[in-house]
Amino acid sequence: MGEPNSPAEGAEEATPRLGVGMVGYAFMGAAHSQGWRTAGHVFDLPMTPVLAAICGRSGPAVRQAADRLGWAAAETDWRALIARDDVDLVDICTPGDSHAEIALAALAAGKHVLCEKPLANTVEEAEAMTEAARRAAGGGQIVMAGFNYRRLPATAYARALVAEGRLGTLRHVRVSYLQDWLVERDFPLTWRLDRQKAGSGALGDLGAHIIDLAQFIAGDRIAGVSALTETFVKERPVLDGASEGLSGGGGGTDLGQVTVDDAAVFTGRFASGALASFEATRFAAGRKNALRIELNGERGSLAFDLERLNELSFHDHTEPATSAGFRRILVTEPEHPYLDAWWPPGHGLGYEHTFVHQARDLVHAIAAGRAPAPSFADGLQVQRVLAAVEESAAKNSVYTVVPG
């Protein structure tokens, strides 16, 4: 849950500067830029985020992105960005194949690090990143994994309700994340469909989110899984520039191999004994970004739907059956997480606000010198679950997630 706003030190005293350098400028880079630009205008922060430099491989494109997204400078080599004296924190928004290399270099250079999910493409890379973060913490460096759905007021409040014992002993967790952007067979072969770059398909892209969200809200860890995965369309058109983005149509004549999963379905067991089911797909026609989670316990149930992201459904099973039932909680009160700095009650927030809240929480952690959540260790736990899902699907068996 978000912390209370820090009080202003006085209008005449400038807060310390936090120079941010970001690697990547596409969809997620734009979202992170929104968060860094906005956080200090909404919340009273103990440090002032400064958008120092953004990095991408194409000089003209990254300079255009810098102008559009509000960055002071542009770089075409992430090593040069890390070396800049005006960069205190490196924000990694690149495909997964470069996460470990950039994060390790940034930590070695004494920078704070924010890394998008999934933390890496392999457990081994995530372990190396987590160990480097552990060592760097001794020198005051702060790291965080970017699971933004933790920072919706509704999911943060759901976590608080579970922590308060409102559901009692947890029995069931069921989660799904459904999209449809790959339904058409002529959608081009982007980097997200290349295992070397993305690590996995719907599993890593969407499954990482719902694994983390389920563990976060439940306050528990997945201990074992049994899984199935499938690639429905095994070849797609190769177009010039297709690997750089998510949009595009057909028209290509050459076909390339899809090397990741299109969908993953798996069951799981939490360490507490609670049972879970997960579904992640990019082939659910008509579903654009449909994430839903429900938790059932001995004392009640909670449900959240991203398409109604300012609401929770809550059932208190301790009430008399004659009046009990699911009720709608509109999560827009000043007492709800993060909302004391936003609008009057009933004025909802949106997807982009998760990145504002992410920036806010990270700045507070850096100023206080404390480890934020989710940590790289949390990201490593998700990576271990992803690996167990892949191994189970490949061997059609149940595999234990190796404890951290």
**10 pLDDT more than 60:** no
Residue 274, SS3 per DSSP: coil
The whole-number pLDDT of residue 304 equals 98
CATH 3.30.360.10 fits 153-308+310-349+374-400, yes or no: yes
**4 pLDDT more than 80:** no
Confidence band of 5 (pLDDT split at 50, 70, 90): very low
Q: Which CATH class is domain 17-149?
A: alpha beta
The whole-number pLDDT of residue 397 equals 64
The whole-number pLDDT of residue 241 equals 52
Confidence band of 3 (pLDDT split at 50, 70, 90): very low
Under 8 Å CB-to-CB from 183, ≥6 apart: which residues? 283, 285
**398 pLDDT more than 90:** no
Q: How large is the average pLDDT for residues 95-113?
A: 98
The whole-number pLDDT of residue 402 equals 78
Percentage of the chain surpassing pLDDT 70?
93
DSSP strand E in 121-262: where?
143-146, 170-178, 222-230, 235-237, 255-257
Q: How large is the average pLDDT for residues 335-351?
A: 97
Residue 236, SS3 per DSSP: strand
Domain boundaries defined on the chain: 17-149, 153-308+310-349+374-400
Q: Are strands 263-270 and 275-281 parallel, antiparallel or unpaired?
A: antiparallel
For the stretch 337-376, what's the b/e string if a residue is b when 16 or more beta carbons lie within 10 angstroms of its beta carbon? Answer: bbbebbeeeeebbeeebbbbbbbbbbbbbbbeeeebebbb
Each residue's pLDDT tens digit, 11-51:
345 899 999 999 999 999 999 999 999 999 999 999 999 99
CA distance 76 to 185: 34
Confidence band of 393 (pLDDT split at 50, 70, 90): very high
Question: What are the DSSP calls for 33-88, one per residue?
Answer: HHHHHHHHHHS--SSEEEEEEEE-S-HHHHHHHHHHHT-SEEES-HHHHHH-TT--
Confidence band of 75 (pLDDT split at 50, 70, 90): very high
Each residue's pLDDT tens digit, 356-372:
999 999 999 999 999 99
Question: What would the two tokens of residue 55 be?
Answer: 């990095």
What's at 250, amino acid-wise?
Answer: G
The whole-number pLDDT of residue 336 equals 98
Beta partners for residue 90, in sequence order: 21, 113
DSSP strand E in 179-307: where?
222-230, 235-237, 255-257, 263-270, 275-281, 290-297, 300-305
Confidence band of 239 (pLDDT split at 50, 70, 90): confident
Half-sphere exposure of 307 (CA within 13 A, CB side): 11
CA distance 192 to 96: 9
Confidence band of 253 (pLDDT split at 50, 70, 90): confident
The whole-number pLDDT of residue 400 equals 76
Each residue's pLDDT tens digit, 280-321:
999 999 999 999 999 999 999 999 999 999 999 999 999 999
**251 pLDDT more than 50:** no
Tokens 């004391």 appear where? 340
For 163, list phi and psi in degrees, rounded to 5.
-65, -30
